[in-house]
Amino acid sequence: MDRLGRCAWLVRGTLARAAARRYLPWALVAGMLAGSLVKELSPLPASYLSNKRNVLNVYFVKLAWAWTVCLLLPFIALTNYSLTGRPGLVLRRLSTLLVGTAYWYACTAVFSGVEHVTGSCYQSPALEKVRQEHGDKSQCLRAGGHWHGFDISGHSFLLSFCILMIVEEMAVLQEARPDQDPGASPAVTALVVALGGLTAIWVGMFLCTAVYFHDLSQKVFGTFFGLLGWYGTYRGWYLSPLSPGLPPRSAGLSTKRDTYRK
């Protein structure tokens, strides 16, 4: 087994397990609360990761949904087609990315609306003086002011949602038979490693957000919406026939059947 294969084996053994899907949501909540307590009770000294201009934040987290979609799209297409041999089923499963995009867009719009409704324009980040003449965030920023409102953590929302979505889609690799293993393809092997690395970045930056940024209530709401999107789809709607469905099971699956795990 080459180095890439060993990395894929490690990622697969970690993220494709049922235990990961069962316990990871609770681990994210616990990490968010623990990090928030550290921020409130014993703040860590400033570091490279506490700077919003750090490389991971600028080039990865700011584009988190794009990175996630770009890797999940070929992963879902290749693994689902390998198991089912049905293009129609593959297209149906790929629509999960459209559902996720719609949910991401709706949540960001809601978060922006909440910040606008609850905010005011200030002269500086110290919030010492309100600029009454600017009642709109865009006008405030253009005038050199600083808008302060209830800023639900978009990072906590999007990173938790992306992490859980990746882990759910990795379930397609669980208990695969040697003669019907969707992870045997070199392309899929590379995608598994890339998704594992991306998940590690998302988890790390989720914890950095908990430790360095936002108030506790803002992170609680952000994480709640991330988990709500995952639970409402993979634990709710996707169980019904009129939905994109769950990843097909590999164990005992005929290559011409579209059986989904219950």
Q: Which residues are known to be catalytic?
A: 155, 214
In sequence order, the 6+-apart residues with CB closer than 8 A to the CB of 41 are: none
**How many Å apart are CA 248 and CA 26, to the nearest integer?**
25
Query: What is Dmax (Cα atoms) for the chain?
Result: 69
In sequence order, the 6+-apart residues with CB closer than 8 A to the CB of 127 are: 146, 148
Residue with tokens 């890439």: 4
- Which of 62, 21, 69, 24 minimizes the C-alpha distance to 191? 69
| b/e code 224-251 from CB counts within 10 Å (16+ = b) | bbbbbbbeebbeeebeeeebbbbbbbbe
CA dihedral 104, 110, 113, 119 (to 10 degrees): -100
Q: What are residue 130's phi and psi, to 5 degrees? A: -85, 135
**How many Å apart are CA 114 and CA 137, to the nearest integer?**
12
